[in-house]
Chain A
């Protein structure tokens, strides 16, 4: 099945810094790439997504970039805040409407 590699597994930044998480994939048929934020004890929350017909999408402090040729996509968080601390998962659609997830990145933002 589809494999999604997510890096880094942990990321520590100071408040106000930027954070970047990258995912690579192999199935060129995938055309939908969401990012989820999961806080302790909660379900994953969809924070941003991108489709293959665009290269970048931005929503306030978060942005996602997609390089379909190189088969990687990245989450960018600017001006990080302590409440951004959580586990972030990349995902992509495989088999039409099912999602395959990366293993997650634990982001810690220190005040």
Chain B
């Protein structure tokens, strides 16, 4: 059974640029959630996708957007990057009948200069 995978592992961007992060869900899971984890903090919920639709959103501005594809993989897009966007971005997948039971990938470390 393949776990959650994310790419890239690390990324450096400059303020104002745009970034796309990718996630492949665990086999058999059709729900994907994205979290932002600042250094020394717990993960914070960004949004969740189920059946290619946004299924809940946390307290993040509209410049954070996402997509889910028919194969359940997902993208997180962040426009107009700010210095405070520097963080570990985590993707978690879960089965449709237990969406709160979430399994995380290794994350993408984003540094905004």
Q: Which residues of B contact A111 (CB under 8 A)?
A: none
Within 8 A of A (CB), among B82-112: 90, 94, 99-107
Q: Which residue of B lies closest to A44 (CB)?
A: B104
Answer whether A98 and B33 are a contact pair too, CB < 8 Å, given A43-B104, A43-B105, A46-B101.
yes
Q: Which residues of A contact B65 (CB under 8 A)?
A: none
Q: Which residues of B contact A49 (CB under 8 A)?
A: 101
Binary interface encoding of chain B residues 41-52 relative to chain A, with 1 for a CB under 8 A from any of its CBs, else 0: 111110010000
**Chain B residues with a Cβ closer than 8 Å to the other chain, count:** 26
- Name the distance in Å between B105's Cβ and chain A's nearest Cβ: 5
- Name the distance in Å between A12's Cβ and chain B's nearest Cβ: 18
Answer whether A96 and B41 are a contact pair too, CB < 8 Å, given A43-B90, A43-B105, A44-B90.
no
Q: Which residue of A lies closest to B33 (CB)?
A: A98
Within 8 A of A (CB), among B34-89: 35, 40-45, 48, 55-56, 58-59
